[in-house]
Amino acid sequence: MIMKKSIKYIAAILTGLVLLSGCYELDQLPADKVNSGSFWKDEADAQEGIMGVYAAMKKDEVFSIYYTRDCLSDIGIGLNWGVYGFIEVAQGMSNSTTDLYKSVWQRLYDGIARANTVITYVPSVEMSDDLKNQYIAEARFMRALYYNELLNLYGGVPLYDETTLIEKEYDNMYKARSSETEVRNFILKDLENACTYLPKSWDDAGKGRATKGAAYALKGRILLYAKQYAEATAALEEVRNGGYGYALNPDYAELFKPGGDESSEMIFAVQNLGGASTAYGMPVHYIANRASYGGCINCLVPSVELVDMYEYKDGRPFDWDELFPGFTTDKSVKEKVFYSTFDEKGQYIAEYPENVNKLRQMYSERDPRMETTIILPYTENLYKGWVNNAKKDCEMVIAPSNPANETYGYCRNAFGHNTYLYRKFTPEYDMDGLIADRFNSPVNFPVIRYADVLLMLAECYNETSNISGAVELINQVRERAGIALLNSGPAHLNVTTKDQVFERIQKERAVEFAAEGLRFYDLKRWDLYVSKTNGQKQTDVTGSVLSTKITENKNMYWPIPQEERDMNPQLTQNTSW
């Protein structure tokens, strides 16, 4: 339930209806204009209204820092981040009063309220019925997106549709939680409308807006999560075969740089690319490092488990002990493999590890997605930093009490740890002037891309005994990545059973979508979340323990925020919270 304080906040924001950056000029409507009598007159008003619905995705706690969801899973680590209480959530030390639970709840209902406003007032706007249907379908797609996030995080939630007007029913918004099935059916009904009335594509001015293909893709995801495999298959096959023009981008790395949304792989994304003058981009300081534009603080870093998942290009699983016997069990071996020695001033490396060339060769032989996603120690692919307002190529190094500093050409972990660091989504130099500060990246953040559709469809095929069809789709993603295809010869590539395919899907999704926030939901729906994360020792590269995850069955769902329950006694709490 949206508490009264939240309702006032949402009502105020609705008067702003911030426009989608990149395609439209930013504007804000005066507070006394957003009502049927003075604002909703023509298509320009409808367009401004729907842009406000999209803009809700950019709030920090929701899609614009969706990558932080990986902290909740086995492939990401949260470092010293006190904002919203995310560290407490990531490490299993939160409770129903933790700020993150409340702020995400409020932001998502904000987006829903904006969508409801559009759906309410567009029918009275002077324009064709076809355009009215299109704008309503956009709003219903976005409402489905926001409600689905609430469903995935909290389970059943109160349903407020366009019949609920905040300015008129402020004192009566005390609904009880609907069941998960009721919420899912509500979402699917919205998506049926979106699948019917959304266009297949937009002209250049409308790039980034919801399409028919996006609606089918989201529908397929929701049905897959609900284990309705036949229905999910139908929706995802429509995305693949319906003439939408989606295809894997030949260059994986391009997807996570400015302009990546221009690729035919991007089905729906948070639109950030709008130039340095706009103040509505994705914050990158949580994921980038001190050598990045703006001196970022890398609160999210990849786990060792993620890095070790990346296969060799020939498809062999990676094993440290093959290279350095005793590595996995002996911390001193890890330190010998990785540690460099700095000079007396702690500025430059005086001596590299004796096996540094062996490390470099190993990294060069691994799945190319690893180097795109992660800044790897000692490789020649230096990180393109921005130091003292100038380009600076920086090397990733590991050392005792690591003194690495970007001033001297090294990647510095903001918290002094020897963890891996992300390259994916982080700024390269100053992005040719597109980035103005560390809070507003011009990189459009993918919500759904075609690789996800292929792997979701592979999962559906596997669950309905179409093993060969599943393998063919997995191989499409592997081929783009530049690694050996399944069932292409060597025994380590053989996949013939449902369990073997499922194991491949798990790993493929982890490495393909690292830092895209999907792993948390994947583990939950596979019933692997607790077993994969509870008691997980989150270590740095040399095995030093940074934290230990505590995950219980209750963590499968977030708690209903206590402040909301205080305002609405009908809101029951999730089990064990």
313-323 pLDDT per residue, tens: 999 999 999 99
CB 489 within 8 A of CB 500: no
Specify the range with the lowest mean pLDDT, choosing from 90-94, 293-297, 387-391, 444-448. 90-94
CB 471 within 8 Å of CB 484:
no
Mean pLDDT, the chain, rounded, equals: 90
pLDDT at 13: 40
The pLDDT of residue 63: 81
Cα separation, 160 vs 147, in Å, equals 10
Angle at 558 between CA 556 and CA 564, to 5 degrees: 155
Contacts (Cβ under 8 Å, ≥6 apart) of 189: none
Average pLDDT (494-500) is: 97
What does DSSP assign to residue 312?
B
> Could you tell me the pTM of the whole model?
0.92
Nearest to 387 by CA among 405, 416, 404, 407: 407
Weakest-pLDDT range from 74-83, 253-262, 478-487: 74-83
Contact criterion met (CB below 8 Å) for 58 and 19: no
Tell me what pLDDT residue 272 has.
81
Cα–Cα distance between 511 and 507 in angstroms, integer?
Answer: 6
Would the pLDDT of 35 be above 70? no
pLDDT tens for 374-410 read 999 999 999 999 999 999 999 999 999 999 999 999 9
Classified as helix, coil or strand, 233 is: helix
- pLDDT attached to residue 59: 78
Per DSSP, what are the bridge partners of residue 266?
449
CA distances to 324, 359, 575 from 355, in Å = 10, 6, 51
**434-458, pLDDT tens digit by residue?**
888 888 888 889 999 999 999 999 9
**Of residues 169 and 154, more confidently modeled:** 154
Which pairing describes strands 545-548 and 537-539: parallel, antiparallel, or unpaired?
antiparallel
**CB crowding 222-258: b at 16 or more within 10 Å, else e:** bbbbbebbebbbebbbbbbeeebebebbeebeebbbb
% pLDDT > 90, the chain:
77
Smallest CA-to-CA distance from 368 within 437, 423, 287 is with: 423
Tokens of 325: 């016997």
Mean pLDDT of 231-245: 97
Give mean pLDDT, residues 251-267: 92
Residue 271: pLDDT above 90? no
CA pseudo-torsion sign 53, 55, 61, 66: positive
Distance CA(6)–CA(304), nearest Å, equals: 40
Highest mean pLDDT among 19-33, 72-86, 324-338 belongs to 324-338
**Residue 251 contacts by C-beta under 8 Å, 6 or more apart in sequence?**
none
**Do 226 and 236 contact (CB within 8 A), yes or no?**
no
Work out the percent of the chain whose per-residue pLDDT is above 70: 90
Nearest residue to 515 (alpha-carbon basis) of 293, 282, 240: 282
Q: Is there a contact between 15 and 31 (Cβ–Cβ < 8 Å)?
A: yes
